[in-house]
Amino acid sequence: MPDMTAKTVVITGASRGIGAAAARAFAAQGANVVLLARDRDAVAAIAGEIGPRALAVPCDVTRYWEVEAALGAAVTAFGGLDVLISNAGVIDPISDVDAADPEMWSQAIDINLKGVFHGAHAALPLMLQRGGGTLITVSSGAAVNPIEGWSAYCASKAGAKMFTACLNTEYGARGIRALGLSPGTVATDMQREIKQSGVNAISQLDWSVHIPPEWPAQALVWMCGPDADPWLGNDISLRDPDIRKAVGVGP
Ligand code: NAP
């Protein structure tokens, strides 16, 4: 695992699930961690449990000004920004296109796609002035596979995947490492919502097939080191047994 001592890592969607596990995993490797989400009590509780090298900042990633202010708070608290994990995401609306609520469909794009742009746009000046940084997007198999009832999710994740590739194209030569993590199915609230929907084959999966959120959290830490450089501009799949072995998780 890369030594994250004194590095500052901002994680969006850190109030539960993969984001909360990532905050704990980065802190365990010595990083300062900044936890962003809308649920201020939840991020405050996790940051409090991690200790003085953790900061909780209430933030809705759909509002650019909140994201910019949150990254500013990270720099004020810890002196810089080294890594941004764009993890905040929603699955809703789970619905066929003709029945989907247009407001909810737009909201999914605002969170899953525009939220990633907001983070990168605010982080890039802070990283470039210090010679570089890492921008990781939490992606999905849905970025490359059409899935029934998930048009907003699939379209937003496909957009975020392409956006991450564009970041690598534009900034790769300037010290910015941009790449994505496709975690597979993970036992979080998002999978609970999917199961409850009863729509498509993923909702029918047995709960036991989902991996714990600590696995993608560990992968995100690993991706901050040079071993992940061959995937810059692309997604790393945690379904890949070689990746699991490299990260040190799973069978
Ligand atoms: P989760 O448990 O539902 O957590 C989602 C997180 O996103 C929460 O912390 C939530 O916090 C945050 N969030 C949602 N809307 C937000 C907004 N507008 N602004 C800021 N934060 C927001 O889901 P998860 O499974 O951990 O998902 C994390 C990421 O992994 C997502 O990008 C998801 O698409 C991806 N992923 C998950 C799976 C899976 O099987 N679970 C598979 C592939 C990819 P608040 O509600 O407090 O704001």
Closest atom of ligand 1 to CA, residue 189 = 2
Q: Span 55-77, mean pLDDT?
A: 98
Residue to mutate, 16, 116, 197, 238, ligand 1, most ligand atoms under 8 Å from C-beta = 16
- By the 8 A CB rule, do 12 and 87 touch? yes
Residues with CB under 6 A from ligand 1: 12-19, 37-39, 42, 59-62, 87-90, 111, 138, 140, 183, 185-186, 188-191
Q: Span 6-15, mean pLDDT?
A: 98
Residue to mutate, 34, 38, 67, ligand 1, most ligand atoms under 8 Å from C-beta = 38
- By the 8 A CB rule, do 106 and 202 touch? no
Q: Span 32-56, mean pLDDT?
A: 98
Domains of the chain: 8-246 (3.40.50.720)
Closest atom of ligand 1 to CA, residue 187 = 41
What tens digit of pLDDT does each residue of 142-191 get?
A: 999 999 999 999 999 999 999 999 999 999 999 999 999 999 999 999 99
pTM of the model: 0.99
Nearest CA-CA partner of 182 in 235, 144, 233, 135 = 235
Q: Span 64-92, mean pLDDT?
A: 98
Q: Span 5-19, mean pLDDT?
A: 98
Distance 173 CA to ligand 1 centre (A): 30
What tens digit of pLDDT does each residue of 190-199 get?
A: 999 999 999 9
The pLDDT value recorded for residue 251 is 79
pLDDT higher than 90, residue 46: yes
- Closest residue to atom 24 of ligand 1, CA basis: 17
- By the 8 A CB rule, do 102 and 50 touch? no
- By the 8 A CB rule, do 126 and 81 touch? yes
What is the phi/psi pair of residue 178, to 5°?
A: -120, 125
- DSSP letters, 198-242, are --HHHHTS-GGGSBPTHHHHHHHHHTTSGGGGGGTTSEEETTSHH
The pLDDT value recorded for residue 217 is 98
CA 155 to chain centre: 17
What tens digit of pLDDT does each residue of 204-236 get?
A: 999 999 999 999 999 999 999 999 999 999 999
Residue to mutate, 60, 87, 107, 111, ligand 1, most ligand atoms under 8 Å from C-beta = 87
pLDDT higher than 90, residue 241: yes
Per-chain mean pLDDT for the chain: 98
- Closest residue to atom 31 of ligand 1, CA basis: 89
Q: Span 93-103, mean pLDDT?
A: 98
Q: For residues 249 and 162, what is the distance between their CA atoms, to the nearest angstrom? A: 27
- Closest residue to atom 2 of ligand 1, CA basis: 17
- Closest residue to atom 8 of ligand 1, CA basis: 13
Helix (H), strand (E) counts: the chain: 10, 7
- Closest residue to atom 16 of ligand 1, CA basis: 88
Residues involved in catalysis? 153
pLDDT higher than 90, residue 61: yes
